Amino acid sequence: MKNAFTRRNFIQSGAFFAVASATSSTLSLRAQKPSSTSGAPSPIQLGLASYTFRNFSRDQMIGFMKQLNVTDLNVKDTKDHLPMDPSEEAKALADYAAAGIKLHAAGTIYFAKDEDADIRSKFEYCKRAGISVIVAGDPTPETLPRVEKFVKEYDIRVAIHNHGPEDKLWHSPLDILKAVKNMDPRIGCCIDVGHTVRAGTDVVQAIQEVGPRLFDVHMKDLTNFQSKESQVAVGDGIMPVREIFETLIKIKYKGFVDLEYEVHGDDPMPGVISSFAYMRGVLAGMGYRSHG
Q: DSSP for 137-196?
A: S---TTTHHHHHHHHHHHT-EEEEEP-GGG-SS-SSHHHHHHHHTTS-TTEEEEEEHHHH
Residues 7-13+39-289, CATH architecture: Alpha-Beta Barrel (3.20)
Interior/surface letters 4-42, b for 16+ CB within 10 angstroms, e for the rest = ebbbeebeeeebbbbebeeebeebeeebbbbbeeeeeeb
255 vs 236: CA distance, rounded Å: 24
204 vs 262: CA distance, rounded Å: 22
pLDDT number for residue 289: 80
Is there a contact between 223 and 230 (Cβ–Cβ < 8 Å)? yes
Is there a contact between 130 and 97 (Cβ–Cβ < 8 Å)? no
DSSP assigned state of 107? E
pLDDT in tens, the chain (292 residues): 444 444 444 433 333 333 333 333 444 343 355 444 567 899 999 999 999 999 999 999 999 999 999 999 999 999 999 999 999 999 999 999 999 999 999 999 999 899 999 999 999 999 999 999 999 988 999 999 999 999 999 999 999 999 989 888 899 999 999 999 999 999 999 999 999 999 999 999 999 999 999 999 999 999 999 999 999 999 999 999 999 999 999 999 999 999 999 999 999 999 999 999 999 999 999 999 865 5
pTM of the model: 0.88
Measured at the alpha carbon of residue 150, what is the angle toward residues 144 and 152, in degrees to the nearest 5? 105
224 vs 226: CA distance, rounded Å: 5
